[in-house]
Amino acid sequence: MTLRVLVAGALIAVLAGCALSIPDAPIETPEPAESATDFVARVNAELSELAEESGSAAWVQSTYINKDSARLAARAQERNAAFLSRAVAESTQYDLAAIDPVSARALRQLKLGTAQPAPDNDAARRELAEITTRMEGLYGAGRYCPAEGECRTLGDLVAVMATSRDYEEQLDAWLGWRTVAPPMRDDYARFVELTNAGAQELGYGNLAEMWQSGYDMPAADFDAESARLWGQVEPLYEALHCYVRRELSETYGEDRGPLYGPIPAHLLGNLGPQGWANITYLVAPYPDVESPDVTTALQAQDYTAVQMVELGEDFFVSLGMPELPESFWALSQLTQPRDRDVVCHASAWPLEGGNDPRIKMCIEQTGEMLSTIYHELGHIYYFLAYKDQPTLFQDGANDGFHEGIGDTITLSLTPEFLAGLGLVDEIGEGDEALINTQMQMALDKIAFLPFGKLIDEWRWRVFTGDITPDNYNAAWWDLRTRYQGVAAPVARSERDFDPGAKYHIPANTPYTRYFLAHILQFQFQRALCDAAGFEGPLHACSIYGSEAAGDKLWAMLELGSSQPWQDALEAATGTREMDASALVEYFNPLLGWLETQNEGQACGW
C-alpha cells in the first residue's frame, strides 16, 4: 500500500469523525522467484523427465497387464499428477496478460495438460490413479464367460460381430461384451467426483468446461461449434441411415429389422456400433459390380504385421517425410502376444518426447486394420514433426488435428492407388463402381459421425451433473437414439453400464477429437490436393508422391500446439474455420444416389 493511500485513508477517517487507527501491514504479493520464461523452461524440463517415467510405466501396464504393472503405472501417474498440481499452483503467480505471449500460451497448455486433473491432495491423487488404472485393466483383461462354453476375449467377440449374420449369435456377442462394464460403474462415479474437484481447483466449473476450453475459444462457443458442424453433415447421415435400415429389414425381416425407427444396435457389424463397414456386403448398392476388397488380398498374399506397417511408412516417406526410427520397429507391439494379457486397442505413443515413438496394436490381415495403421502412423509422424518443440507444445493444434492426420492419408488410398499396390484388382470405371466404393467408405466415415459426437456429449453432461449415476445408462441410450437412430436390442437398466463397454470411457480419452478429425480430414485433403496440383473430383485424388503436399502438411505438423489451431488451420487450408463442406463434396455422388433410393421412404426415427 502506498503512502498516498495511507494518508488518504487517514483524512477520510478524520472527516468522518472516526478515530483513526493505523491499518495492519498490507499483504504484499511477492515477486516471482523466477521470470515466466525461466519458470516455463523449468517446467518443460521437469515434465520431459516425468513423461519418460510415466510413459514407460503406462506402456508396460498396457503390454503386460498384471498386478505389478498396474501398481507401477498407478504410482508413476500419481507422481505425474502431483507435479502438475504443484506446477499449476505455482503458475498462478504470473499474470498471463503481462508476460510474453509464448510463455502465456505455455502456461495455458500446462493447465490443460491432463484429461483427468487430480485434486491437490496426496490421498485423492492416489485414489484417482488407482481407479483409472483399475478401470482400464478391467477393460483390457475383459472376458465374456457364458454359462456354457469357453470364455471369449474382446477380439473373439469383434470377430463374431464382423462376420456372423445370425441374429441370436450377434445378440449374444453384443450382450456378452457388456458384461465387463458393470464393475466399473461405482469407480466411474467416484472418478467423476475426483476429476471435477481437480478441474475446479484449476479454475473451471467442472471437467466438461475444462475439456471444452482446450479449443482456443470459450467453452460455450465450442459447444455451439460442434453443434454447427453436426448440422452440416446430419442430412448425409440421415440419408445413409434410411437406406441401410431398409436393407437390414429385408435381410432380417421387419420383426427384427424394422422399416421405421431406430436400428437394433447389434445388426450393424460392430460392438459399438460406431462404424458399419462390416455389413458392406449386405447393403452394397451394386453387388454384382466389383468393389475393393483389401482384406482378401492381404490374406491371400499373407501380409505380415510388419509388412502392413511398411506400406504405411512408404506413403509418408513418399511425401518427403523421414523413415521411421529403428527403435520403432524394435519396440512397438504390432501383434497380440500369446503369453499375456495386453490392451489391443490401437494407440500411438510418443515416448522420450517423440524420439522413441511406438505403436501398440494387435494387427490382423484386414483392410480395417490397414486403415488403422495409417491412422496411427499419422500420430507417429505428428510426434516426429514437433519433437523439437518445448514439451508443453508437443501436441496437436487441437486434438482433432492429431486424430485427423492419418485419416487424411487414408483418403488417398483410392481404388487406383490400391490397385497399384496389388491390394485390389483393377476397378471398373463407371458410376456403379464409384457408388459401391463411396458406400463402403460412408459405412465407416459417415456412420461414425453421430457416435463421435455423442460420446463426449454424454460425458459433458455427466461432469456437469445433468446426468447422475442414477441415470447413466438411460441417458446413454437416449443420446444413442437421438443422434444415431440406434437402439439397444433388449431392455437395458441401471444395473448395466453400457458406456463402460467403450474403451474411451474407462480410459478417459476425450472423444470429440474423433468427430472433429472426421470433419478436418476432408478439409485437409482438399487443401493438400490443391497443393499437389490435382484436377478432378475430390474423391479421386491421391497425394502419394507429392512432396509439395508433404511440405504443406509438415509445416503445419511441426507447429505442434505452439499456435492456436485457427492459425495452423489457416496455414494449411487458407481458412480459420472448421468446415464440413469438403466432406459433403467428397460424398456428393453417393448423396445423390441415396436421395433417389430413399424416395417414398419414411426416413428418420
The one catalytic residue among 36, 129, 346, 442? 346
Question: Are the C-beta atoms of residues 54 and 83 closer than 8 Å to each other?
Answer: no
> For 442, left (φ over 0), alpha (ψ -120 to 50), or beta?
alpha
Q: Which residues pair with 144 in a beta bridge?
A: 152
Q: C-alpha angle with apex 253: 286 to 452, nearest 5 degrees?
A: 65
Handedness of CA 208, 213, 215, 218 (dihedral sign): positive
Angle made by CA atoms 496, 497, 498, in degrees to the nearest 5: 105
As a whole number of angstroms, the distance between CA 191 and CA 23 comes to 46
514 is catalytic: yes
Site of grid cell 497399384: 420
* 376 labelled catalytic: yes
Extended strands (E) in 469-589: 486-487
Q: Which of 432, 504, 570, 571 is flagged as catalytic?
A: 504
The catalytic position among 10, 284, 345, 570 is: 345
Q: Peptide bond before 357: cis, by omega within 30 degrees of 0?
A: no
Nearest residue to 516 (alpha-carbon basis) of 397, 414, 604: 397
Q: Active-site residue among 472, 511, 514, 544?
A: 514
> Which three cell numbers, joined as nine digits, stand for 520?
478436418
To the query of whether residue 539 is one of the catalytic residues in this protein, the response is no
Q: Which of 379, 402, 518, 539 is catalytic?
A: 379
Q: Dihedral sign, CA of 33, 37, 40, 44?
A: negative
**Residue 508 Ramachandran class (φ > 0 left, ψ -120 to 50 alpha, else beta):** left
Cβ atoms of 332 and 258 closer than 8 Å: no
Residue 241 bears catalytic tag: no
> Is there a contact between 180 and 501 (Cβ–Cβ < 8 Å)?
yes
Cell of 598: 430413399
To the query of whether residue 266 is one of the catalytic residues in this protein, the response is no
Q: Dmax over Cα atoms in the chain, in whole Å? A: 100
Q: Tell me if residue 379 is catalytic.
A: yes
**Which residue among 375, 402, 518, 539 is the active-site one?**
375
β partners of residue 454: none
Active site residues: 345-346, 375-376, 379, 403, 504, 514
